[in-house]
Every structure is written in C-alpha cells, then in structure tokens.
C-alpha cells in the first residue's frame, strides 16, 4: 500500500519524476547514423554482389567484372584474377584527376593470383589495395563516400555464402517488387 501511494506521489510531482524528458539527446556530440548507399548525391555504390556480377545503388546490375568510379561504371574485360595484367590496369593510370587508390576485388585468395595482380599493379605504378571481392565492395563504398579519389576493379566471387538475413531481404525485395501496380 505504501508503495502504491509513493508511485502516485512521484507521478504527480514533476521534479521527482524518474523520467524528466522523453526526447532523444539533441546536443553536441550526438551520435547519428547515415546509410551511405541510399544517398543520391554520394555517387555510385555497390549494394550487393553475386557470382554473376554486382548490383549498384541506382538499381543497375553489372554482369561480370567491373571498373567502378564514384560517378561511372564500366565493364572490365578480364575473366579472372589470372588475366589481370599491366595492360588491363592501364585504364586506371590514364584517368584525370589521378586516383589515390585502386581497390581490387579478387575472386580468389590464392597466393599465386594475388602476387600476379600485385606485380601487375606495381608495373602500372598504381597504389592498390588487394582484397577479396566481399571486402573490396565495402571498402570502395566507404572511401567513395568520404570523397576520396578512388576506383574499384572488381571480379565477382566464385562462391557466395548466404545467411538468413540475405534470404529474408531478397524475399521482401521481390514481394514488394511484384505488389506495385502496373497502371
């Protein structure tokens, strides 16, 4: 009984209330979250990848390997990491303004293939970051969103592991896609 009376007293007395303000913190240092690949002015970003290619944030699907820049995407004519050579990387050296970093996404992590690509990039005098395609996509997105002068040379992975979240997202995407009226 005493507990019930105390609760009523606290509710009626604002300076004793346990919750003074229900609004979120609005001062300096407030933490905010930005989903970078949904912003239109941030340029091209990679939303997803598959064994056949890549899906970009503007809805375009690129089949096969691609060369991606903050505002442009091109088909990159290599079939795999063993075909990457100084000649296939020449495009990235000819660009104006010069790129600070080329993010190369490889479909394999075999040491021989990685060394081959690294030697080709050094011969072309390019600053490169060699990563598996899965990590190269997010690295390119992050650097591009920061406004860095970056390019990506990405080869689709040979295998993609699918988890429950991926399957759910795909089902929701296609369910919403087919619900739209065609009028």
**What confidence tens digit (pLDDT) does each residue in 57-107 have?**
999 999 999 999 999 999 999 999 999 999 999 999 998 889 999 999 999
Label the pairing between strands 101-106 and 150-154: parallel
Helix (H/G/I), strand (E/B), else coil: 130: strand
Label the pairing between strands 46-50 and 61-63: unpaired
Q: 28: which DSSP letter?
A: T
Are 149 and 97 a contacting pair, CB within 8 Å?
Answer: yes
Higher pLDDT, 49 or 3: 49
Q: How confident is the model at residue 17 (pLDDT cuts 50, 70, 90)?
A: very low
Torsion of CA 169, 172, 173, 178, to 10 degrees: 160
Average pLDDT, the chain: 84
List of domains in the chain: 39-179 (3.40.1230.10)
**What percent of the chain has a predicted confidence (pLDDT) above 70?**
74
pLDDT value, residue 16: 45
pLDDT value, residue 19: 46
pLDDT value, residue 165: 82
- pTM, entire model: 0.71
**Phi, then psi, of 53 in degrees rounded to 5:** 160, -145
Q: How confident is the model at residue 24 (pLDDT cuts 50, 70, 90)?
A: low
Both structure tokens of 53: 């290619």
The Cα–Cα gap between 14 and 20 comes to 8
Mean pLDDT of 145-164: 92
């Amino acid at each position: 009984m005493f507990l019930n009376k105390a609760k009523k007293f606290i509710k009626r007395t604002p300076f004793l209330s346990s919750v003074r303000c229900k609004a979120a913190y609005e001062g300096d240092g407030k933490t905010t979250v930005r989903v970078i690949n949904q912003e239109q002015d941030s340029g091209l970003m990679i939303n997803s990848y598959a064994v056949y290619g890549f899906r970009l944030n503007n809805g375009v699907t690129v089949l096969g390997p691609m060369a991606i820049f903050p505002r442009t995407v091109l088909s990159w004519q290599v079939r795999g990491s063993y075909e990457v050579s100084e000649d296939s990387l020449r495009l990235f050296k000819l660009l104006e303004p010069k790129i600070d970093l080329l993010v190369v996404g490889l479909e394999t992590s075999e040491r021989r293939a990685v060394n081959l690509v690294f030697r080709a990039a050094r011969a072309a005098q390019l600053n490169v970051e060699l990563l598996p395609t899965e990590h190269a996509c997010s690295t390119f997105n992050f650097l591009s969103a920061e406004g860095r002068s970056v390019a990506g040379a990405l080869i689709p992975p040979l295998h993609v592991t699918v988890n429950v979240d991926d399957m759910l997202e795909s089902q929701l995407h296609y369910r919403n896609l087919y619900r739209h009226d065609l009028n």
